[in-house]
Structure 1
Amino acid sequence: MRRPRFLGRFAVLTALSAALTTLLTVTPAQAASGSITGLAGKCVDVAGASSANGTAVQLYDCNGTGAQIWSNPGDGTLRALGKCLDIVDRSTADGATVQLWDCGGSSNQQWVVSGANDIVNPAANKCLDVTGNNSANGTRLQIWTCSGGANQKWSAPTSGGGGTPSRFVVTEGQFNQMFPGRNSFYTYSGLTAALSAYPGFANTGSDTVKKQEAAAFLANVNHETGGLVHIVEQNTANYPHYCDWGQPYGCPAGQAAYYGRGPIQLSWNFNYKAAGDALGIDLLNNPWLVQNDAAVAWKTGLWYWNTQNGPGTMTPHNAMVNQAGFGQTIRSINGSLECDGKNPAQVQSRVDAYNHFTSILGVSPGSNLYC
């Protein structure tokens, strides 16, 4: 069983690499409309062309009617017949069906059209999917864990306006203001490109919640890397300590190869294995990618933030989205060494950065800032 990785202290800075590969095609500012085609060349269709709340959304032969014309207005929604593509009962579970419903701005009506032709609901971090891989007319559409299968690939209208601007709530100017002395390795474009790995990050809930999550992530990254300065862990004496030979795969890159790297200081062989498996990158055999490839570095930081509890009880992503407070992100990242009065100066450093970054973004920091 993989043990949790407790991230490094500020005094023993581990550094980072930054920036990511898959480019996200996000809804820009202007609307576009058209059909959404998928499996067997069939269209996403509103059953019976009914605009009633709760009408099923299905796969059907393309016919050019209004029941198959979807607009992408740039607010994260997909709309037909004046209503929004909606996940039934706001479910995030595999198999939750989709329907038409009055647009209300809720997270179950938010969709990201990716450069890989997936249509992702960020709150569930799941893809629009044809049930049972069945191309028959009338097959209901649902959400399911993204697999890259043909039943999850869509040709959808992307809103106009030219280019594919980032949907990140932090502008490049704000990013530079947050990190005036950053290492040139950590580019803004690298970070925004990385967002497609975890489309729910800083893209779930209200605009306030999105900005709070972005500020929380960047504040913790700021603390871990000395303001996005360091790329690798500075205390080289620690390097041989991060190999757990008890793992069945051992440490094929060497005893001292799994030291802290990246925005959230990825370390230990089992974490390189887990992160690599999740991202589709062989980090167990080539951990140096995290310090040499900025894209890979940011991906590992987002992997931890979105999927790992660490010494806490929730992921940092869930802590912010569910409004548990910034303090719970500290607990999930380094709580065993900092929280419950163990190192209040380190906690204060993180909170100060968070307050500064939320101020730059013009948003309240919320409550429960300490752990």
Structure 2
Amino acid sequence: MPRKTFRGLSLARSAVTLAVVALLATLFAVPASAADPVGRITGLGGKCVDVAGGSSANGTPVQLYDCNGSAAQNWTVAGDGTLRALGKCLDIVNRSTADGALVQLWDCGGGANQQWVVNSARDIVNPQANKCLDIRDRSTANGALLQIWTCTGQTNQKWTAAGTSGGGNPPAGGFVVSESQFNQMFPGRNPFYTYSGLTAALSAYPGFANSGSDTVKRQEAAAFLANVSHETGGLVHVVEQNTANYPHYCDPSQSYGCPAGQAAYYGRGPIQLSWNFNYKAAGDALGINLLADPWRVERESAVAWKTGLWYWNTQNGPGTMTPHNAMVNQAGFGQTIRSINGSLECDGRNPAQVQSRINNYQRFVQILGVGPGNNLSC
């Protein structure tokens, strides 16, 4: 899409302030006020915009670093359009407008080199230079320096704020993924997969994305959503697309048989629940007669999400642990893949499918402002 240009270096400060406040209210989902809390600002690799060494001295470099909740990563936007940490401003060294000019912490003076606006593409832009806050060399290493650079749309120029001054509190409602973040993850999703349906389903498994540290909670939410994204083509497909498979999912050896019909137990919902025995087990666990009425999984958003959470929290599948335990106990995202479809994908069976899941996960943890952890593959 065409990039918005900032014309006229005499842009009124009030206009800059309104732009920053509007961005925070819509993009970063924080309340607009005279001095808005932003909290941590995360970029490539889920790492944080950080003041080196936690120093408030003029000239301290601003860098990328593991998110740690310190004051050196706690940013606010002031009424004059500046971004502040440790009582000082994010500043472009020597008031430069050149590509590669580094940024630093400096006494707030209200100069054009301390003005920042965020656009709808999640670029943090200095209007005077009309350039983007950028991670030098696209590095994800701790200590990677931040600079300004011509806006390119690359991932090393994309930023997300946590949304609170503490940098780690869940959004309203308790779920660690806000509705705006959910929409960012799934811009082309089927309307069936509602955010309200997901949050309504959480009561069935209150430990989901609610166990361990804030980082672990966000990693688990990202891992679940990454896998269901892969299973459904980005939350597009509600039912299995290959109808020729439908009659295969009835196991007649089960004592209860297939009362809804031979071809009634095809894949549905975010985890693509299939087979009569899985509908029976999920329904029993959730208190819903899915064996007799499997179509509820494609009619009711909350029921669909509950079946995904049932598998995630209770089933090992071909793995050795539930996906929930894999994330809470920090066994790694790769173990969630193994528990969902390891017999077909892991140990070199289908590396492209594994990588697709990993790519989703890395993108989602970045949106949620945390690192991905270890052991991503299976």
TM-score range, shorter chain: 0.5 to 0.7
1:295 Cα deviation from its structure 2 partner: 1.2
What aligned pairs does 1:131-142 form with structure 2 within 5 A after superposition?
Answer: none
Distance 2:295 2:172 in 1: 30
What secondary structure sits across from 1:227 in the alignment? coil
Distance 2:333 2:283 in 1: 27
What's the counterpart of residue 313 of structure 2?
A: 306
What's the counterpart of residue 283 of structure 1?
A: 290
What's the counterpart of residue 123 of structure 2?
A: none
Q: Does 1:266 align with 2:279?
A: no
Give the % identical residues. 84
> Structure 2 residue aligned with 1:194, among 189, 195, 201?
201
Q: Does 1:210 align with 2:223?
A: no
Give the aligned residue type for 1:297: A
What secondary structure sits across from 2:235 in the alignment? coil
Q: Does 1:331 align with 2:338?
A: yes
Compare CA radii of gyration and give the structure with the larger one. Answer: 2
Provide TM-score, normalisation by structure 2.
0.55
Deviation string 1:214-263 (CA, Å, 9 cap, x unpaired) is 00000000000000000000000000000000000000000000000011
Give the aligned residue type for 1:319: A
What's the counterpart of residue 181 of structure 2?
A: 174
Distance 2:326 2:305 in 1: 20
Deviation string 1:91-144 (CA, Å, 9 cap, x unpaired) is xxxxxxxxxxxxxxxxxxxxxxxxxxxxxxxxxxxxxxxxxxxxxxxxxxxxxx
What's the counterpart of residue 72 of structure 2?
A: none
What secondary structure sits across from 1:222 in the alignment? helix
Deviation string 1:2-47 (CA, Å, 9 cap, x unpaired) is xxxxxxxxxxxxxxxxxxxxxxxxxxxxxxxxxxxxxxxxxxxxxx
Distance 1:370 1:331 in 2: 9
Provide TM-score, normalisation by structure 1.
0.56
Give the aligned residue type for 1:299: K
Distance 2:278 2:250 in 1: 10
What's the counterpart of residue 228 of structure 1?
A: 235
Distance 1:166 1:297 in 2: 20
Distance 1:350 1:250 in 2: 34
What's the counterpart of residue 243 of structure 1?
A: 250
What secondary structure sits across from 1:287 in the alignment? coil
Q: Does 1:370 align with 2:368?
A: no
What secondary structure sits across from 1:281 in the alignment? coil
1:293 Cα deviation from its structure 2 partner: 1.0
Distance 2:192 2:293 in 1: 19
1:189 Cα deviation from its structure 2 partner: 1.1
1:166 Cα deviation from its structure 2 partner: 1.6
1:165 Cα deviation from its structure 2 partner: 4.2
What secondary structure sits across from 1:264 in the alignment? coil
Distance 1:262 1:185 in 2: 10
1:210 Cα deviation from its structure 2 partner: 0.1
Give the aligned residue type for 2:267: G
Distance 2:172 2:257 in 1: 42
Give the aligned residue type for 1:201: F
Deviation string 1:272-322 (CA, Å, 9 cap, x unpaired) is 000000000000000000001111100000000000000000000000000
Give the aligned residue type for 2:293: N
Distance 1:180 1:193 in 2: 21
What's the counterpart of residue 253 of structure 1?
A: 260
What secondary structure sits across from 2:237 in the alignment? coil
Moved over 2 A (4+): none
What secondary structure sits across from 1:196 in the alignment? helix
What secondary structure sits across from 2:175 in the alignment? coil
What's the counterpart of residue 350 of structure 1?
A: 357
* Higher RCO, 1 vs 2 (CA within 8 Å, ≥6 residues apart): 1
Deviation string 1:190-226 (CA, Å, 9 cap, x unpaired) is 1111110000000000000000000000000000000
Distance 1:169 1:211 in 2: 6
What aligned pairs does 1:108-127 form with structure 2 within 5 A after superposition?
Answer: none
Aligned length: 208
What secondary structure sits across from 2:298 in the alignment? helix
Q: Does 1:319 align with 2:326?
A: yes
